[in-house]
Structure 1
Amino acid sequence: MISVGKILFFPILFLLTLVYRILFFLDRSFKKERDLPSSITISVGNFSVGGTGKTPFTLHLAKLLHFNFPNIPIVILSRGYGSSGTGIRRVTENSSPSEVGDEPLLLKKNLPFAEIYVGRNRYDSYLQFRSENKIQNDQKVFTLLDDGFQHHTLNRDLDLVLLDCTKLSKKEFLLPLGLLRESYASVSRANFLVASKFSEEYEGLLSKWINKYKPSRTLRFRFSPKVLVPLSSGSSETSVAELTGKSVFSFAGLGNPGSFYSSLKEQNPSELKTKSYPDHYSYTKEDLTQISEKASNQDYIICTEKDGVKISSLIGTDKNFSKWFYLRLETVLENESELISSVRSFI
């Protein structure tokens, strides 16, 4: 759906969309692709800008690979969007979200068995990963290219692209008119379409989409609320069932926070207030003070896990934040054996 502002400037935006398509085509056509040595390279990306569930899926995929192939090292290469750091950075659990980015830090905190590297040049990041971890030249590793579907400089063995099922009923346009980086027809490049945020209510729309664009194979990816994790170290985890009949203030810095708010609404709180921030928003202590004032009468204050990794460092052990939590999700990938079978063919 196009906003009123975009309708007013439609002629200019339409021309800019044509320029964007031409530049994208040239970038894809003339960039020389390189192979990562001794790597099983898997790209995880999406069609649009932000909010498709890419981070929860990357977490699920990494855990799936580690479970099935425990002896093969895993590295995730990210550009660290929204971070202020420069050069190649190895992400640790103690890294600053402003230095490495919120999503890479979230990945590391949940994947202690995997290495996460951030840098604009992913080829150089990969070589530094092998060097720093003293990995022998003939040792195969799994390399996950975070947000890699439009990354044209590296060859990949598998391309996975996510489709946000909550947006299937909406007409989407290419940048800058809309949020699409490229048309849905580009699914022909992908080995798997991952139907993200899937539930039965979207099956009809998804089937129509599949019939129109004909992806090679489709995997349905679900996630649901699991538990509330305290942001203050003095509190304990709480079941999401505790939200029933309680008043909740929720906030999120996501590209598409609608499904997050819906998942909280499904717990039947007596009241649900929401506040949205820009994607990858860097929170300040002033922001937390404002939220506390707005939610002073609420039973719970809840954010996403991605927001939580940034906010927890500001809160520390402050007991005044005892009702602040982030929502941890449980994820399910249907027919994941198909994906594992494809991965196995490269080993």
Structure 2
Amino acid sequence: MISFGKILFFPILFILCLIYKILFFLDRSFKKKRTLPSSITISVGNFSVGGTGKTPFTLHLAKLLHSNFPNIPIVILSRGYGSSGKGTRKVTENSSPVEIGDEPLLLKKNLPFAEVYVGSNRYDSYVQFRSENKIPNDQKVFVLLDDGFQHHALNRDLDLVLLDCTKLSKKEFVLPLGLLRESYTSVSRANFLIASKFSEEYEGPLSEWIQKYKPSQTLKFRFSPKKLIPLSFGASEVSVKELSGKSVFGFAGLGNPDSFYSSLKDQNPSELRTKSYPDHYSYTKEDLTQISEKSSAQDYIICTEKDGVKITSLIGTDKNFSKWFYLRLETVLENESELLRSVRNFV
């Protein structure tokens, strides 16, 4: 759906859209690509700007690789969108989300067996990773290129691209008219299409999409709410079943928060109020105060895990946040053995 403002300025935006497509094509066609030495490089990306479930999928993929190939090191290379730091930075569990970005910090906190590096030049980040961790020259490494489908500077062994199943019924346009970085026809470059946020209600629209764009292979990726993790130090985890019949205030700084709100609604709360912030939003103590005031009558205040990594440092040990939680999701990738079969070709 195009907004009224975009309809009003359609001729200008259409021209800008064409220019964007031409520049994108030239960048992809003529940029000199480099190969990361002694690596099995897997790109994880999406068609659109934000909100497709890329971070949960990257977590799932890293855990899948580690459980099946425990002797092969894993490094995730991220650009660190929205971060303030400069150069290449190694992410630790104590890193500042402002300096390295919320998603890289979330990845590191959930993947103690993997390394995460942030930097605009991913080749340099990889070289620094091997040097700092004293990786022998002949040691193969799994390299996950976070948000890498449109990253043209590096060769990759496998390209995985996510499709948001909740948007299949919507007509999407390329930037700046819409939110697509490139058209869906680019799925021809991908080894696997990952149908993200899948549920049975999207089976029909997904089948039509697959028939139209003909991806090489398709894997369905599901989310399901698992539990509530407290943001206040010392509080206890809570089962999502506890939300039934309770009043809930949910908030999120995501590109597409609808599926998060749907996950809360599915728990049958007596009342669900929501507030959305921009993607990668940097929360302040004033924001938390406003949320507390708006939700003083609610039993639970719940955000996403990506929001939680930024808010925890603001809360600290303050016991006034005892009803603040983030929602942890359980993820399932159907037929993941097909992906593992492709990976084994490079191991």
- TM-score, normalised via structure 2 length: 1.00
How many angstroms does 1:234 deviate by?
1.9
Cα drift, residue 14 of structure 1: 0.4
Amino acid at match of 2:22: I
* Match runs of 1:267-306 below 5 Å: 267-306=267-306
| Structure-2 residue corresponding to 1:333 | 333
**Residues 93-242 of structure 1 mapped to structure 2, 5 A cutoff:** 93-242=93-242
- Structure 2 spans left out of the alignment, 5+ residues: none
Indicate the residue corresponding to 1:60 in structure 2. Answer: 60
Could you report, residue by residue, the CA deviation over 1:157-190 in whole angstroms, capped at 9, with x for unpaired residues?
Answer: 0000000000000000000000000000000000
Aligned partner of 1:70 in structure 2 is: 70
Q: Which secondary structure state, in structure 1, belongs to the residue aligned with residue 144 of structure 2?
A: strand
Counterpart in the other structure of 2:313: 313
Match in the other structure for 1:20: 20
Q: Name the residue aligned to 1:83.
A: 83
Cα distance in 2 between the residues matched to 1:14 and 1:233: 51
Q: 1:144 corresponds to which letter in structure 2?
A: L
Q: Which AA in structure 2 matches 1:200?
A: E
After superposition, what is the alpha-carbon deviation per residue over 1:252-277, rounded to whole angstroms, capped at 9, x for unaligned?
00000000000000000000000000
In the alignment, the residues of structure 2 paired with residue 338 and residue 292 of structure 1 have an alpha-carbon distance, to the nearest angstrom, of 46
Q: CA deviation at 1:337?
A: 0.2
Structure 1 moving runs of 4+ over 6 Å: none
Q: Aligned letter for 1:223? A: F
1:4 aligns with 2:14: no
CA distance in 2, matches of 1:83, 1:157: 28
Give 1:320 deviation, angstroms: 0.1
Amino acid at match of 2:18: L
One-letter code aligned to 2:240: V
Taking the aligned partners of 1:249 and 1:290, their CA distance within structure 2 comes to 12
Q: Which amino acid aligns with 1:259?
A: S
Aligned mates of 1:12, 1:343 — CA distance in 2: 44
* CA distance in 2: counterparts of 1:21 and 1:151, whole angstroms: 15
Q: 1:297 aligns to what SS in structure 2?
A: coil
Whole-Å separation in 1 of the counterparts to 2:153 and 2:97: 26
SS of aligned partner of 1:220 = strand
The count of corresponding residues between Structure 1 and Structure 2 is 347
Identity of paired residues, percent?
Answer: 87
Point out where structure 1 has 5 or more consecutive residues left out of the alignment.
none
1:68 is displaced (CA, Å) by 0.1
Across the aligned residues of Structure 1 and Structure 2, the Cα RMSD in angstroms comes to 0.3
Match of 2:255 in 1: 255
